[in-house]
Amino acid sequence: MKRRQFVNATAKTGLALSFLGVMACKEQKRKTTEEIVADIEADAPLFFKLSLAQWSLHRALKSGAMDNLDFAAKAKNLGCEGLEYVNQFFADKAEDKAYLDQMNDRASSEGMENVLIMIDGEGQLADPDTKKRIQAIENHYKWVEAAKYLGCHAIRVNLAGGEEMEEASKAGADSLSKLSEFASQHDINILVENHGGFSSNGAWLGGVMKEVGLDNCGTLPDFGNFCIEHGPDYSCLKEYDRYKGVKEMLPYAKAVSAKSHDFDAEGNETHTDYLKMMKMVKDSGYTGFVGIEYEGNEASEEKGIELTRDLLIKVGKELG
């Protein structure tokens, strides 16, 4: 069902309370995706759509408390319209058409849209060793094909492995060019997320994008992944300015990840000014999905997702 169709359908339920009014009422049950989106549309349409990054539920998925096939229903119940999968939660299923059919069926039955697959563990695309890098490129082919089968528009890749900035830029651009050329045959975009190291340097990544220069190669700006130097215990020793980095990535953005960790009593994320970030997103002309990616520990995974969702809706309405 198309987004506008289910919004119009649920509008007929006669619910008159605004979204914020409903959230303020403690006795009101959790609203469905259709009800949340209908309320948004009835009040002031957002310039973006809400998707859920599967990593937000990684603890439940890794513990076995939740199965990958339950993701669509869970995301819908949490008020999202799009699904952003993580390959490690169905790592051996990329070429299993019967399993992918089940994923498609679950998404379709919930009225959800498969948006992208985030790829990890398939090799380093900026590796200085050419043989290893070529193998990494080929390892991603099956995920391009899986994304196409699922009706996604993209896969997210990591541009890691580089040891020297200039060398990593050349290797990364070559890998992205080869992978994007393959992906173009399947109408799939290849997106690079800022995910540590050189990739969290917005200027460097923007330079790689210019070097590649292909329409189906772009970025996935993440609000929080801007650590460019980690300590032995993986603590961040040096961080790139997140607002500068997102701004540098937005000209090439085909997806956006709203990373969150902690919230204050007013529901604001304490590490990122969401109003400032989302204004930059809007000013760039981006109107696609914004993925909720909660990684905090203070709130439960579901509560963290809800807090991030509500904050995005709040600032989205403020921006008009």
Domains and CATH numbers, the chain: 43-319 (3.20.20.150)
Edge-to-edge strand list for the sheet holding 189-193: 217-220, 189-193, 154-157, 113-118, 82-86, 49-53, 289-294, 256-260
CA distance 97 to 87: 15
pLDDT of residue 224: 95
pLDDT of residue 315: 97
Contact present, 112 and 76 (Cβ < 8 Å): yes
Residue 229 CB coordination number (10 Å): 12
Specify burial of residue 69 (Cβ count, 10 A radius: 0-12, 13-18, 19+): middle
Q: Token digits for 247?
A: 């701004």
Low-confidence ranges of the chain (pLDDT < 50): 1-28
pLDDT of residue 234: 84
Angle between helices 130-139 and 141-150 (to 10 degrees): 20
CA distance 128 to 134: 11
What's the Cα-to-Cα distance from 319 to each of 44, 288, 293, 312, 316, rounded to whole Å? Answer: 10, 15, 21, 10, 5
Tell whether the torsion through CA atoms of 87, 89, 93 and 98 is positive or negative: negative
Tell whether the torsion through CA atoms of 263, 266, 271 and 275 is positive or negative: positive
Nearest to 261 by CA among 237, 287, 242: 242
Contact present, 297 and 55 (Cβ < 8 Å): no
Contact partners, residue 276, CB within 8 Å, separation at least 6: 243
Residue 111 one-letter amino acid = G
For the chain, how many helices (H) and strands (E)?
Answer: 13, 10
Q: Token digits for 167?
A: 């060398």
pLDDT of residue 320: 87
Q: 154: which strand partners? A: 116, 189
- pTM, entire model: 0.87
